[in-house]
Amino acid sequence: MYFEYSDKVKDLQKRVAAFMDEYIYPNEKLFYQQLNEGDRWQPVPIIEELKQKAKTQGLWNLFLPESDHGFGLTNLEYAPLCEIMGRSPMAPEAFNCSAPDTGNMEVLARYGTKEQQEQWLKPLLEGEMRSCFAMTEPDVASSDATNIQASIQHEIAREGDEYIINGTKWWSSGAGDPRCKIAIFMGKTDPNAPKHKQQSMILVPMDAPGVTIKRMLTVFGYDHAPHGHGEVTYENVRVPAANMLLGEGRGFEIAQGRLGPGRIHHCMRLIGLAERALEEMCKRVNSRVAFGKKIAEQGTIRADIANSRMEIEQTRLLTLKAAYMMDTVGNKVARAEIAMIKVIAPNMALRVIDRAIQAHGGAGVCQDFDLASAWAGARTLRLADGPDEVHREAVAKLELSKYE
């Protein structure tokens, strides 16, 4: 299946790529320098500058499909832009297209009330604040979301119509950022309801009494400051009943609407990451000599380069097919393709990055190159938005159902 993009999308691709060349790549070293000066858990000045440049150039909130708040691009149209941004860890935030804010903004745009959108969506769209998604829990296997134990209890008291929230969440990405002002919290409102009607999602301000960031988690030693991944406790946190999203028992419905586009975004960014790793690998092996000839002339290196190119192309095509199906027939019909790319993309990226690390030698595992950090980030995406095993199970069930 071949996709021909409109002139509008082609123009956006050129503009995003030009922005990357002019502002993102040249400032990557400055980003890490500023990050490591003083308090790592504060916004990085260069990112704030680049956000203003992107906004001025109209390269802002590119991700929102079917919404008046964004560019109105389909998932298929946004996919190549997302790939370009995935080439640098700085880029998504500079364009206000970084997770988990993108998914949270989609939730608010699709399911939020006008009041919720005014209070939380508007500043997120402006890049004035950030958010986190509170779903995974440390004490249960959260790959099965029906295991989630955090509670959301409705109480009508003299103080007003409220929900009381209790539970512990971890891997709340973005919780470490001081600009993180809101969490979309998933918990049980009715443990006696049918299995997929027990859960709800509600908006919880991070400064509400009873919300405590217990600790920040590392990823293979990386703290991902100032974004970070928090373990957060919620102890008798009271929020207005108006903070409920869509209605009680509709948490799974919201999750499916949120995770579909998010998986496309993750996969396309991984493809961009793999492209950057392959590019760095080719430059490295052309500049080094071993055993009397360029490393690029070694047969094993050439095989690694060829395999990397073939795997990247295969993954891109399947991901674009999934995006196309989401746009044309919906997430439910595309669920097999969405599950497949979520397994294939991170595993592909890990192989490509690993080959690049090997070609760099000792330099590949140290801080002089971004390969080690890229590998760690890609490895987490075999777990985020559902582990490989869950997606493989879904694909197998759908395949077997054809022959029942």
Has residue 61 been placed in a domain? Answer: yes
- Token pair 């993102």 is found at 24
- As a whole number of angstroms, the distance between CA 404 and CA 401 comes to 5
- As a whole number of angstroms, the distance between CA 273 and CA 89 comes to 9
Residue type (1 letter), 400: L
Counting Cα atoms < 13 Å in the Cβ hemisphere of 332 gives 1
For a pLDDT cut of 90, what percent of the chain falls above it? 90
Question: Is residue 164 scored above 60 in pLDDT?
Answer: yes
Has residue 376 been placed in a domain? Answer: yes
Has residue 1 been placed in a domain? Answer: no
**pLDDT at res. 54:** 97
**pLDDT at res. 280:** 98
For a pLDDT cut of 70, what percent of the chain falls above it? 98
Residue 354 sits in a domain whose CATH number is 1.20.140.10
Q: Residue 138 sits in which domain range?
A: 130-245
Quick: pLDDT tens for 313-338.
Answer: 999 999 999 999 999 999 899 999 99
Q: Helices (H) and strands (E) in the chain — how many of each?
A: 13, 9
Residues 261 and 392 in one domain: yes
- As a whole number of angstroms, the distance between CA 56 and CA 50 comes to 10
Has residue 25 been placed in a domain? Answer: yes
CA–chain centroid gap for 239, Å, is 27
Q: What is the mean pLDDT of residues 28-48?
A: 95
Residues 99 and 154 in one domain: no
Confidence of residue 66 (pLDDT cuts 50, 70, 90): low
Residues 274 and 353 in one domain: yes
Residues 390 and 264 in one domain: yes
H helices present in 361-387, as ranges: 371-380
Q: What is the mean pLDDT of residues 128-141?
A: 96
Has residue 160 been placed in a domain? Answer: yes
Q: What are phi and psi of 237, to 5 degrees?
A: -80, 125
- As a whole number of angstroms, the distance between CA 141 and CA 90 comes to 32
Question: Is residue 228 scored above 70 in pLDDT?
Answer: yes
